[in-house]
Amino acid sequence: MSENKMRVLLTGGCGYIGSHTAVELMRAGYDVLIADNFVNSFPAVLPRIEELGGRRPDFRELDFCDAEGVDRLFAEEKFEAVIHFAGLKCVPESVTQPIRYYRNNLNSTLNVLDAMNKYGVKYIVFSSSATVYGEKNPAPYNEEMETGSCTNPYGSTKFMSEQIISDAVRADPELGAVLLRYFNPIGADASGRIGEDPFGVPNNLMPIVAQFATGRREHLYVYGNDYETPDGTCRRDYIHVTDLAIAHIKALEYISGRTGCEAFNIGTGVDYSVLEVINAFEKACGKELKFEFAPRRAGDLPTSYADAHKAERLLGWKAERDLDTMCRDIWRWQSNNPMGYEK
């Protein structure tokens, strides 16, 4: 449709981050081709992407572990870049089902890279995670730090996928890759039409807080109040999903016409405690949230936040939305869609 912008394949484009990125890409005039197998997403997001993006995104139902299906997709469709979101992402599930996590997250990455090589697609943006910094580095994390020593199989699949992509780039002088290391994505599109809708019981703080605020959850536990932090609770770098989505556009602009592999932290550079987040959410929803303290959750680090200067310097990207905006936007989504997409 657009004349000088790339057509982009979004693997896992119906998920939380994929759907917000699809909308921002369309708002910026890109054509998108979404492929998803709905393992952790809902078909009902597609008409909403159309509503917000102004036109119907092209869509294929596909599991990226299906090598023949991936080959067929690349043979039949033309696009210049891939944003690879598809993957399993539940940390505790990855501990109990490690083989499934390695098989799924690594095979899908391998299949995408094979097909890119065969069909001459030159650019990839990969959904990575701050979890690659492991437990040995002190916050704030910067991209020069050694990665690895991840605390769970999910994190290891992100670390290994980064390795695989950077080796593929080293072997192919025409490839360009950007690894985006997300911190803690929260928030929703300002319209309240799309947002995070995890299957079953959520694991992450914000969907739990949001569902607790609507009455869908009975308890809100704060895991640990004896960390060495000012209020005793863990601190994280929460980033608005719309800022994160825009970072993908900056990454595409950056690699277009370039080769090599570059990693960027995508965070705000500011950390908030669990109690500060709950407090901000109380303001946004206008309700008191009666949380309870519970023991520490295994594997949690006291503090994680980004040194986000590299993205600002090289991508020209900087987070713009603050914690109050993140909470307001989540509340708009959650209160308008208390049971998520399909109810």
Least Cβ distance, residue 40 to ligand WQD (angstroms)? 10
Torsion of CA 180, 105, 82, 318, to 10 degrees: -20
Q: For ligand WQD, which residue has the nearest CB?
A: 234
Q: Which is nearer to ligand WQD, 63 or 276 (CB)?
A: 276
Q: Is 95 exposed, middle or buried (0-12, 13-18, 19+ CB in 10 A)?
A: middle
Least Cβ distance, residue 74 to ligand WQD (angstroms)? 27
Number of H helices, E strands in the chain: 11, 13
Least Cβ distance, residue 26 to ligand WQD (angstroms)? 24
Nearest to 275 by CA among 323, 332, 333, 211: 323
Nearest to 303 by CA among 148, 133, 185, 76: 133
Least Cβ distance, residue 150 to ligand WQD (angstroms)? 9
Torsion of CA 27, 256, 104, 56, to 10 degrees: 30
Nearest to 334 by CA among 275, 296, 289, 271: 289
Tell me which amino acid residue 240 is.
Answer: H
Q: Which is nearer to ligand WQD, 89 or 122 (CB)?
A: 89
Q: Give yes or no: 154 in active site.
A: yes
Pair type for strands 260-266 and 7-11 = unpaired
CB contact set of 308 (below 8 Å; sequence gap of 6+): 265, 266, 267, 268, 269, 318, 319
Catalog residues that contact ligand WQD under the rule CB under 6 A. 89, 91, 129, 131, 155, 184, 203-205, 208, 221-223, 234, 236, 274, 297, 300
Torsion of CA 132, 133, 136, 140, to 10 degrees: -160
Least Cβ distance, residue 205 to ligand WQD (angstroms)? 4
Q: Which is nearer to ligand WQD, 258 or 297 (CB)?
A: 297
Q: Which is nearer to ligand WQD, 138 or 257 (CB)?
A: 138
Least Cβ distance, residue 221 to ligand WQD (angstroms)? 5
d(CA 295, CA 77): 51
Q: Which is nearer to ligand WQD, 10 or 91 (CB)?
A: 91
Q: Which is nearer to ligand WQD, 31 or 156 (CB)?
A: 156
Among the listed residues 123, 133, 141, 154, the single catalytic one is 154
Rg, the chain, Cα only: 19
Catalogue the active-site residues. Answer: 154
